[in-house]
Amino acid sequence: MHIPKFPECNHPLIQSLFRHSDQDLVTLFQRHPEEGKYFTGIFCRYSPVVYSLISHTARSPAQADYLFATTWRHIYYELRGLDFVALGVRPEDFNLQNWLINLTAICINRAELPPVESIHYSLEATPPPLWCYVEQALDQLPAVMRLMIVMAQTFRWSETRISAYLQAEGEHISPAEVRGRLQEGYQQLEAALPPDIREIYLHETGDRLQGSSWEFSTAAPPQE
């Protein structure tokens, strides 16, 4: 399979990190959770290695992209809580590449990939670092607004269909109100992203968020 290239790797914010060691990037990522460039820098440095490992196991490009994204999502949360003391190593002796290879192998072995037709994720539209930070930002939104955004973006439901679902659940929101709340939700979602992630991926606009093809789980759409 072809190993994808990611435009964010050429962004000045990411290129400025090339001189940093792996250990520096991990430490900066853990110390500055309000910034997304350090995780994105790690992603750009090691995405070819991770994708190469995954491409040999997935049956289709869509499944490979999905497993690649979910693996990096797992890497994101594992790195955030990585404890060098618990690992029994000094930060300067930590081998990030070996750790990533081992973690990728674990994700591959545990993966239960959904059928191709049920995968709504687009690697080009939502690269893994953006996915991780969008998901983190989504958690900060009110529950109903978060649900509306996921139904609109992941499952491509119309405002009328979203309204009907919410009314069946006891939330009396008209299609026009759904439209207004979605616009408000996109603005709040963008504001909740780290500023450097907005600069790298959104160019200070919300167009990318509203146009992305997201999937935040392998679950089927809500039942009507």
pLDDT tens for each residue of 74-97: 999 999 999 888 888 887 889 999
- CA-CA distance, 82 to 79, in Å (whole number)? 5
Give, as one character, the DSSP assignment of residue 202. I
Tokens of 127: 């690269």
- For 154-183, the pLDDT digits (tens) are 888 999 999 999 999 999 999 999 999 999
Q: What is d(CA 182, CA 146) in angstroms, rounded to the nearest whole number?
A: 9
Least confident of 28-37, 112-121, 162-171, 189-198: 112-121
Q: Where in the chain is the domain with CATH 1.10.1740.10?
A: 7-118
**Global pTM?**
0.88
pLDDT higher than threshold 80 for residue 207 = no
Q: Using alpha carbons, select from 63, 8, 62 the residue that is nearest to residue 36.
A: 8
Is the pLDDT at 217 greater than 50, yes or no? Answer: no
In the chain, which residues fall in CATH 1.10.10? 128-211
* Rounded distance between C-alpha atoms, residue 76 and residue 43, angstroms: 9
Q: Which residue has the tokens 């499952």?
A: 155
* pLDDT tens for each residue of 145-154: 999 998 998 8
Confidence of residue 206 (pLDDT cuts 50, 70, 90): very low
Distance between CA atoms of residues 97 and 46, nearest Å: 7
Pick from 152, 161, 144, 124: nearest CA to 216:
152
In which band, very low, low, confident or very high, does the pLDDT at 125 lie, cut at 50, 70 and 90?
confident
CATH 3.40.50 fits 128-211, yes or no: no
Token pair for 10 = 């050429």
Rounded CA gap, 67 and 193, in Å?
A: 24
The tokens for 197 are 């992630």
Residue 131: the pLDDT is 92
Q: Does residue 212 contact residue 153 with C-beta atoms inside 8 Å? A: yes
Architecture of the structural domain at 7-118: Orthogonal Bundle (1.10)
Which SS3 state, helix, strand or coil, does residue 103 take? Answer: helix
Would you call 70 exposed, middle or buried from its count of C-beta atoms within 10 A (0-12, 13-18, 19+)?
A: buried
Pick from 137, 101, 109: which is nearest to 212 by CA?
137
